[in-house]
Amino acid sequence: MARVAHVMTLELQTEYLSCIGGRSRNEDACAFWYSEQAGCWVLSDGAGGHGSGDVASRLVVEAVIDSFRKNPVADEEQAAKLLQAAQDAVVGAKQANLNGDDMHATCVILLIDRLSDQAVWGHVGDSRLYLFRAGRLSYQTRDHSLVQNMIDAGYGAPEMIRSHPNRNLLTSAIGNIGDLEATVSGAPLTLMPGDTFLMCTDGWWEYVVEDRMAELLQKGAPLQSWLHDMAGLVSKDGESGLDNYTAIAVAMSPDAGRDYDATVLMRSMNL
């Protein structure tokens, strides 16, 4: 008997936006790389005195992309290894300059297997990943922060994540000495046409609530317009000392250049 398998191949569209805000330098960094086999997207928000924040975020992004290019596999083990590679890069730089600043950074990564149309992700700190499916928020990462822990323990409402005076205190960051506390998604998620990922730093999500993200996405405007619409909210609602803000959007659509709704007939074998 012949077996019938459904083959889904998706086209990836990527757009990004990064702004210095009201700061003297942009300490955010982002990058992406993909081949026919797999892709990697990474975003980082650095911190530290005398400009070391931008060094930290750059080290994170370079370490993740370089490591992924050497082994373009998109699974949970790889996600954990890439976050550890970022940790090793920043800690190594600090140890090489013991008189330098205590630089550290957040990190969020997205990995997509382009052959199986599956995704995994991971993060450290309060830079976030959102997944929108059918225009609605389907998933968001949970911050490694003091305020998130307070909310989880029942000591405050979710709304205070954007207003609490200690909202920027992290419980985990790339560059902290000791074991790295990172979160990696579970089993790979099978992607569907229309799925859209948003990766962003706290300077972005602090001024754009999730309902508004989804509302703007549902307008059906091009991906770059979606980012610019959200950036407009950041600029409008941000305080005079506006932080750097950065976002990457990755959307899935049927690839017209390949057989999207194809069926593969596999010949039966005599046993």
Q: Note the pLDDT tens digit of each residue in 161-190.
A: 888 888 888 999 999 988 899 999 988 999
Is residue 192 domain-resident? yes
In the predicted model, is pLDDT for residue 123 greater than 50? Answer: yes
Is residue 263 domain-resident? no
Is residue 83 domain-resident? yes
Residue 123: exposure state from Cβ atoms within 10 A (0-12, 13-18, ≥19): buried
Whole-number pLDDT of residue 50: 66
**pLDDT band at 149; cut points 50, 70, 90:** confident
**pLDDT band at 236; cut points 50, 70, 90:** confident
Say how many domains are in the chain: 1
Is residue 89 domain-resident? yes
Is residue 271 domain-resident? no
Whole-number pLDDT of residue 268: 26
The CATH number of whichever domain residue 162 belongs to comes to 3.60.40.10
Whole-number pLDDT of residue 140: 96
Chain mean pLDDT for the chain: 87
Phi-psi region of 220 (alpha: psi -120 to 50; beta: other; left: phi over 0): left
In the predicted model, is pLDDT for residue 263 greater than 70? Answer: no
Residue 229's CB is within 10 A of a number of other CB atoms, namely: 17
Whole-number pLDDT of residue 261: 33
| DSSP 3-state of 124 | strand
Percent of the chain whose pLDDT exceeds 90: 67
Task: Choose among 168, 228, 232: nearest CA to 201.
Answer: 168
In the predicted model, is pLDDT for residue 97 greater than 90? Answer: no
Structure tokens at 195: 């799925």
Tell me the CA end-to-end span of the chain in Å, nearest whole number: 12
Whole-number pLDDT of residue 255: 58
- Domain of 67 in residue numbering reads as 3-255
Rounded mean pLDDT, 80-100: 92
Percent of the chain whose pLDDT exceeds 70: 87
Q: Please, are residues 228 and 258 in contact by the beta-carbon 8 Å criterion?
A: no
pTM: 0.88
In the predicted model, is pLDDT for residue 238 greater than 70? Answer: no
**pLDDT band at 136; cut points 50, 70, 90:** very high
The pLDDT tens digits of the residues spanning 201-231 come to 999 999 999 999 999 999 999 999 999 999 9
In the predicted model, is pLDDT for residue 232 greater than 60? Answer: yes
d(CA 84, CA 208): 30
Structure tokens at 191: 């992607």
Is residue 47 domain-resident? yes
- Between residues 271 and 213, which one has the greater pLDDT? 213
| DSSP 3-state of 164 | coil
CA angle 128, 43, 137 (to 5 degrees): 30
Rounded mean pLDDT, 131-143: 96
Is residue 270 domain-resident? no
Is residue 267 domain-resident? no
Phi, psi of 2 (to 5 degrees): -80, 145
**pLDDT band at 258; cut points 50, 70, 90:** very low
